[in-house]
Amino acid sequence: MSLAFVFPGQGSQAVGMGADLAQAFAAAREVFQEVDDALNQKLSKLMWEGPEEDLTLTENAQPALMAVSLAVTRTLEKEFGIGVDRAAFVAGHSLGEYSALAAAGSISLSDTARLLRLRGQAMQRAVPVGEGSMASLIGKQTDVALAEAAAAAGAEIGVCVVANDNNTGNVVISGAKAAVERAIEKAEELGARAIRLNVSAPFHCPLMQPAADEMAAALAGATVLAPRAPLVANVTARPVHDPEVIRRQLVEQVTGRVRWRETMDWLAGEGGVTRFAEAGAGKVLSGMIKRSCPDATATPLNSPADLEGFAKSL
């Protein structure tokens, strides 16, 4: 068995996430306290009690999701003796890439929390509310080629690109509002169904360049070490171990495509991964993995029972 830990991105947050881990494990409580201290905010109280609209704010959701993921991996290590270095690779969806790097010891937990707070704020600042849009194109025949054709139609009147290639049947486009609307019309002509996403900014498109510039400055001053397990990066869908390359690719990721389908294809193919463990809130990635890699197993890890069952299975 070859194992990869994967880490969820924005959209997996929910009020109450991580509360049962904190009740059950001292290691999880330590993670939540360290994140609270790093941000000088009772983020854990917001995570467990809401209100939901505050938790959903990008600047809160990003560090909060990372905190749950790290509570899972720290608990696995301290309570069950299962470190991230047991995995052949790590990967994360968008902000989950930071969670993966923190879990693998590449960036400290406190630095990761602060970087994600800045990342959320910078993304929000990059484009005025209402000027950008994102849409998920879904359906059996929806693939990246269809999405690129739709985005090209939108790009005739403004910025519009494929932002997330999640899996066949689920591709997200992002850009200027009018351009995305044009792309939706084209996608529907081509047979896809479009769902407009309730997001505060158009992530993973060139409109995010101001946020990428802010992250470049912040990452230049951050300590980045070689991860204990190689990271399969969003922007290349290939493994990376060198700290300077990781630093550069985290900047590129702000405006670049999340190549999640290609990442899963590489892990299950050349990477030889047969088992995926989704460390953190929800089970969105496990669903994507089952569609992309039907021969692999995918296990969500976000409750004490999940962790205990996973530990026994190894």
Which tens digit of pLDDT belongs to each residue from 178-187?
Answer: 999 999 999 9
Estimate to the nearest angstrom the gap between the alpha carbon of 229 and the chain centroid: 17
Q: Which CATH superfamily is domain 132-199 in?
A: Malonyl-CoA ACP transacylase, ACP-binding (3.30.70.250)
pLDDT tens digits for 216-258?
999 999 999 999 999 999 999 999 999 999 999 999 999 999 9
| Structure tokens, 51 | 């209100």
Q: What is the mean pLDDT of residues 300-312?
A: 97
What positions carry a catalytic annotation? 94, 204
Question: How many angstroms separate the CA atoms of 56 and 200, rounded?
Answer: 10
pLDDT tens digits for 7-24?
999 989 999 999 999 999
Query: DSSP for 41-78?
Result: S-HHHHHHH--HHHHHSHHHHHHHHHHHHHHHHHHHHH
* Confidence (pLDDT) at 199: 86
Question: How many angstroms separate the CA atoms of 123 and 95, rounded?
Answer: 12
pTM above 0.85, yes or no: yes
Q: Which helix (H) or strand (E) holds 90?
A: strand 89-92
In the structure, what pLDDT confidence band is assigned to residue 135 with cuts at 50, 70 and 90?
A: very high
In the structure, what pLDDT confidence band is assigned to residue 141 with cuts at 50, 70 and 90?
A: confident
Closest among 305, 268, 312, 257 to 4, alpha carbons compared? 268
| Structure tokens, 82 | 């299962």
Percentage of residues of the chain with pLDDT beyond 70: 100
Q: What is the mean pLDDT of residues 275-295?
A: 95
Q: What is the mean pLDDT of the chain?
A: 97
Question: How many angstroms separate the CA atoms of 34 and 6, rounded?
Answer: 22
In the structure, what pLDDT confidence band is assigned to residue 200 with cuts at 50, 70 and 90?
A: confident
* Confidence (pLDDT) at 90: 98
pLDDT tens digits for 77-124?
999 999 999 999 999 999 999 999 999 999 999 999 999 999 999 999
Judge contact between 44 and 35, C-beta under 8 A: yes
pLDDT higher than threshold 80 for residue 1: no
Judge contact between 314 and 86, C-beta under 8 A: yes
Task: Give how far Cα 170 sits from Cα of 166, 167, 199, Å.
Answer: 6, 5, 17
| CATH number for region 3-126+207-313 | 3.40.366.10
* Confidence (pLDDT) at 63: 98
CATH 3.30.70.250 domain range(s) in the chain? 132-199
Query: DSSP for 241-273?
Result: --HHHHHHHHHHHHHS-B-HHHHHHHHHTTT--
Closest among 250, 228, 243, 313 to 277, alpha carbons compared? 313
CATH 3.40.366.10 domain range(s) in the chain? 3-126+207-313
| Structure tokens, 262 | 């290609």
In the structure, what pLDDT confidence band is assigned to residue 62 with cuts at 50, 70 and 90?
A: very high
pLDDT tens digits for 203-212?
999 999 999 9
Closest among 214, 236, 193, 27 to 117, alpha carbons compared? 214
* Confidence (pLDDT) at 274: 97
Judge contact between 6 and 229, C-beta under 8 A: no
